[in-house]
Chains A and B, each alone.
Chain A
């Protein structure tokens, strides 16, 4: 009995640990996010000078043409604080009270009613009838001017990320005014990254406008390490030919510089393309890993092929969905609740299956395969009956959406990155359980020599249940992770089961490390094949490869050695 409680404790602790680890991981991610929310409204609620206030009143009353002039004057005065007003005006959300000529921003609140907000503070202004409000009218030329003003403010006074984003967008359309702005901003700028971006803009300007050959070549050289799309476009334009087959660009020195710069850029793009494929491959591999390690345990320890393993994953995904339904007001945290919940749900279903069916088929692996397949059919149909055959959407919390942008062509999405990390954490914990706990010791003993283990007083039946529960529980956790990547449907598990088996067989049965290596190498191989062959063909090639591989090494990458393996 004591052993039982210990084992139970371990399972519970394991679940908790996983929840904890994910929350830690998530808070780390949270900290890394550069622009998680709009800046707090009060931060820029600065006092408006009297002069500006007058300008505001004039603006409201002025004709469209005068507005343009007033805006220019405002530009002279304004810093960061004007941004909300300009944006509201650009979006047509700027209104004024006819009597006081006071400006308000009017937009829909969460329930769909138009409500007034103070322009600069962004606070809700109560007790005002917006029916009397009048809209500050804008036309297209004003909008253009506003955009420029906004860009200018962002570039000169914005936060680092804003400055960067503004510079990046402006690169694609460098006008004279933009050049002037870039120069102005460049003098003020202190952050190196933004400085470089501004330099790029200026260099691009030099390339297209300068007449001095050496200056242009130098500018092109400076551009050759940049990955921004406008840079590449500009350089490619330099290589264009006109309809007579002559180069549009007359200067051969510039052309050759552009050519080598382009080559340079293409090399970098190819490099990052490789990195991206690697990332996608690792991401796919992490999904394989999550799906397969549970299987590796049950297969490796009990020699049981659990065809219902995919359905354990599916149950985990549906648990996430149900948790989400149960706590609609805390969507951010459903995942953290869902992980232990899915572990428990799938784990207990697993124990149930083991106790009610698999136990009676001991030592008959092929029969177990058939019986668990029957169970998988039942579970699928059960879910179809309860939740309908349609796919369900599980929402992704904000802290998992978005991405880290490392450069203009390479970014890592948070959900994939966190699943990658999560899978490694789960793997690490599992290794710990197997190596350091008494459950792990028992499991290893049973997997090596069942009769001997029994003779030594290990309750093999209990170990079987616990192993199966653990394997299934991990499958459930995998389901939570998968629900972040794809829709949740009754067939979710099926699509992973064959891949998971391939991973386990490829890595070598009874070897967790083999499963790790197997899943990542298959994932990466898949993603590297995909561009050349298409997804389906890549899948087929991998399957055929494994079939051939198993011929050569029937025991997988990391076979169990020695006489025991016979």
Chain B
């Protein structure tokens, strides 16, 4: 190989030098599996919030997590998003990315978005600003100092405003929104960040029946391109969206399957209703859970 060839090879215009290439942050889903949670245990002060939990989520799936209070749903989300450190176990995003080694901002930048149980929007910012800050973009200091909104961003924000029905309120302070509107805004912020994996904690709490329906529609439409994990107590809602349901109990997975499978699972019935009642229905599960809580 001549020097010229080597030089040509080095300066090929269709390739990027490895050290200049952006860090490989694309999630590797070659096995069609986006989230691997294995043997996860977390304890608080002796109380085992998660106990050897295993969970696998397919790429593009819509998964519902149900379980009584204290079953570990929120803690699981905390571990995935880097808020809580686990005692043992592993959490992989795709084939290659070990989430346990990453901080919250890194995980967020990888494309894992989270909606909190309590709507947490920035009340001192306008709706528009809330969405702008959530946009998928460079989140570095220098960039945020210089960046000016381009028309593509504005269009994107406008389309999200349309979707979440807050077009009228775009320059209103987020603090002035109603509870349901805040929920929507938070979903909008999640969408603006264009995540691969959405973790959604009780999305329909405080929403009217109509809004709930819209949320269900939205979530089902999101699945496919993205992977959605929903934690919800409203069984009717879960039934309306869920393809696969995972039941957590005392920090580990009790049952997994379709809603009907889960409802007829002996373990689930035993845990929620005791031995005597064999034909448990979703509403009863919810009621029983309410009592236990």
Contacts and interface: CB of A to CB of B under 8 A. Distances in A.
Please determine whether chains A and B interact with each other in the same assembly. Answer: yes
Interface of A: 561-563
A563 B75 CA distance: 10
B47 interface: yes
Contacts of B47: 562
Contacts of A562: 44-45, 47
A563 B44 CA distance: 7
Please provide the 6 A-B residue pairs with the shortest distance between their CB atoms, ordered closest to farther: A562-B45, A561-B45, A562-B44, A563-B44, A561-B44, A562-B47
A16 B95 CA distance: 69
6 contacts: A561-B44, A561-B45, A562-B44, A562-B45, A562-B47, A563-B44
Contacts of B44: 561-563
Interface of B: 44-45, 47
Nearest to A563: B44
A563 B46 CA distance: 12
A561 B44 CA distance: 7
A561 B46 CA distance: 10
Nearest to A561: B45
Contacts of A561: 44-45
A312 to B, nearest CB: 34
Contacts of B45: 561-562
B267 to A, nearest CB: 27
A563 B50 CA distance: 13
A563 B45 CA distance: 9
Nearest to B44: A562
A561 B45 CA distance: 6
Contacts of A563: 44
Nearest to B43: A562
A449 to B, nearest CB: 15
A562 B47 CA distance: 9
B256 to A, nearest CB: 26
A561 B47 CA distance: 11
B83 to A, nearest CB: 9
B82 to A, nearest CB: 14
A213 B177 CA distance: 101
B8 to A, nearest CB: 52
A288 B213 CA distance: 61
Nearest to B47: A562
A562 B70 CA distance: 13
A563 B72 CA distance: 12
B2 to A, nearest CB: 57
A349 to B, nearest CB: 37
A371 B40 CA distance: 47
B254 to A, nearest CB: 22
B117 to A, nearest CB: 13
A562 B45 CA distance: 6
B84 to A, nearest CB: 9
A563 B78 CA distance: 12
A427 B45 CA distance: 26
A563 B47 CA distance: 10
A206 B35 CA distance: 90
B69 to A, nearest CB: 12
